[in-house]
Amino acid sequence: MSQFGSIPFLFIHGAAGSKDKFRGIEQKLEGIPCLFVDLPGHGENAGEACCASIEEYAQWLNGHIGRQPVIVVGHSMGGMIGMELAAHNPYVKGLVLTASHYELPVHPKLLLQLVEGTFPASFFRASYGKNVNEDLLEEEQRQRNQVSMQVAHNDFSCCNDYKGKASFAALKIPVLALYGSEDRLLPAGALENAKETLPDAQCEVIEGAGHYVMLENPEAFVQALLAFRKSIASNLVF
């Protein structure tokens, strides 16, 4: 395998999630190396304390990948962590922001409901496109019930507090921003603002998907990853 071919995709999940949000993706990538991580307090690392900020999550992840060249794929909160990781680790050779942005404000009412121990059903449903597969929704609800409200509140607070425009604007690596056409969780004008802030960023909209692009349309998601990987192959510096 060539040096480029050995570079893995590093997948970072979003708020109140786990690496299972990328289930099935490795098989569809057909031999391309992949690394999937559970952030502290999540999934297989549920026994660890959550980090208190996006920057702390990035520092934790930086300590785990060290000098391993990677192409980071971050979903939602994971995309912001990816921005910070790329800003401080030269071994990040590309960044895919999946349903993510340099700011993800969270409504105070949602944060209050999480403190009170409730994850609003309306917010859960709004995270997916209108024609989402019902079996997928049922599986997602089962997983949602396995995450504590404390972890969810911590993560959404991290998203709300993060101001990453400067980090995003300073990126010197290839960036692909993927958006679901029915995503109701990102700030209005996120795509346009991203393009204005970082004109060299590639932007792509996946039709019919909501916030969980990789689950709702995994085929289009994988094709976008493959095309991005191919586009940067000749430009990587080791």
Residue 164, domain member (yes or no): yes
Q: What's 211's domain CATH number? A: 3.40.50.1820
Residue 19, domain member (yes or no): yes
Residue 2 scores a pLDDT above 70: no
pLDDT tens-digit series, residues 100-152: 999 999 999 999 999 999 999 999 999 999 999 999 999 999 999 989 999 99
Give residue 78's domain range. 9-235
Is residue 218 classed as helix, strand or coil in its secondary structure?
Answer: helix
Tally the domains of the chain: 1
Residue 26, domain member (yes or no): yes
DSSP letters along 47-60, please? TSPPPSSHHHHHHH
Burial class (CB in 10 A: 0-12, 13-18, 19+), 148: middle
- State the residue for tokens 């979003």: 14
Q: What is the mean pLDDT of residues 18-42?
A: 96
Q: What is the mean pLDDT of residues 24-32?
A: 94
**Side chain identity, residue 168:** F
Residue 2, domain member (yes or no): no
Residue 225, domain member (yes or no): yes
Residue 18 scores a pLDDT above 90: yes
Q: What is the mean pLDDT of residues 69-88?
A: 97
d(CA 194, CA 210): 18
Residue 200, domain member (yes or no): yes
Q: Is the pTM of this model over 0.85?
A: yes
| Residue 35 contacts residue 6 (beta carbons within 8 Å) | no
Q: What is the mean pLDDT of residues 161-173?
A: 97
